[in-house]
Structure 1
């Protein structure tokens, strides 16, 4: 299997490269300005906003599968247009496409979201992720669209944000609820989907729904940090727009995949 990971310098993209290379697959990883330090992975520079460059690279590599992970918060040209460019290029060479989407495309509500629910974005980033899905599905109805949540793991932004809040240098919201997933679990799930024929949206998130504030307490417990200084508020009080309670029902993925999607409590309480 020859797989192209677009956005391989990112947290998830790098892990997908590591896991794919570890299985013996031939892996090519792209990056724009970052670095990829994964043994055995061929590195190529790529600007996903350049449609011609994306098509040329994919035509040259001719992968069996493409894992599309790039995004840039606040940049429609990367998050939405870039996803469309990758989808077109993958379709042109007949490659299997697994596109990484996000729970940010939902508005938030008390009940969990199922896999096939249409996007209801409430901010610009959510709208860009929703547009990306629309483009990918139009170009390649057979593509898998992985809707995931906060990604945990050593060096993840979520863990670092929790550490900053525990040190009193950041604030965590008590009313933003997500289903965090471990980066290795997510990467393994993505590779299972690469090697499958699953088409359409699939929720791939952790088993536990926790607020960002609760995640901070779990991080404190895991790393033996003092939770007394944890700064919390609500997103409403802070005037931060965005979805509040977004719980993904990942029961379909649990039945479909061999990879067990561990919850935040299991991940951080040992």
Structure 2
């Protein structure tokens, strides 16, 4: 498809958790096609490429994944860099907004009693609004900015803290949200991953808002 259409810019957001063929091999296939047909490539990566052992991670940090999904995303980055040296690699975090994300749906199900479970207090990310991320990706694509970028919200929150913000925005009963520890449940993956987006923010005109702002009552 890329060879036939020969797009000026290709933005690859494809992934499937637990599926190496889609997340890693698929990214390599897209990069190879862009390399053959020409044009720019913007590859969307994840904070899952990091272990969470460091206090924060800026754009110069090398991946050190600790679970299969993070390893697949790190392999995808390696393939993209090798095949399209001028590509943009955009690492992001937990994506929310407009009530359509999986995390927002889970919070609603907990607050309404249609599901049971906990929201982790030790699983920390830098949530980003889907519209802010989309705008950042388009700006990077249009301006042809190469290299690694970090595009996440300017606020680190636990899953539980994020759930409280979602419940308040949606007028739900936040008292029905129960906190819990991810480490206690044996769920594999990094715990606290804080993306330092300072360098990327200096390059972009797009503003990446903190979750407390875009999840304030009256916002979506």
Number of the residue aligned with 1:161: 106
Contact 1:165 1:172 in 2 (8 A): no
Number of the residue aligned with 1:93: 37
Q: Is 1:179 aligned to residue 126 of structure 2?
A: yes
Contact 2:120 2:180 in 1 (8 A): yes
The superposition leaves residues 28-66 of structure 1 with CA deviations (integer Å, 9 ceiling, x where unpaired) of xxxxxxxxxxxxxxxxxxxxxxxxxxxxx1111110010
Quote how far apart the aligned CAs of 1:164 are: 2.4
Question: Any gaps of 5 or more consecutive residues in structure 1?
Answer: 1-56
TM-score by length of 2: 0.94
Q: How does 1:59-70 map to 2 (within 5 A)?
A: 59-70=3-14
Find the aligned partners of 2:164 and 2:21 in 1 and give their Cα distance: 36
Find the aligned partners of 2:91 and 2:166 in 1 and give their Cα distance: 24
Count of residue correspondences: 214
Number of the residue aligned with 1:260: 207
Quote how far apart the aligned CAs of 1:119 are: 0.4
Find the aligned partners of 1:89 and 1:103 in 2 and give their Cα distance: 25
Question: Any gaps of 5 or more consecutive residues in structure 2?
Answer: none
The superposition leaves residues 235-270 of structure 1 with CA deviations (integer Å, 9 ceiling, x where unpaired) of 111110110000001111211111100011001113
The superposition leaves residues 97-149 of structure 1 with CA deviations (integer Å, 9 ceiling, x where unpaired) of 00000000100136111112000100000000000000000101100000000
Pick 1 or 2: higher relative contact order, CA cutoff 8 A, min separation 6: 2
Contact 1:166 1:216 in 2 (8 A): no
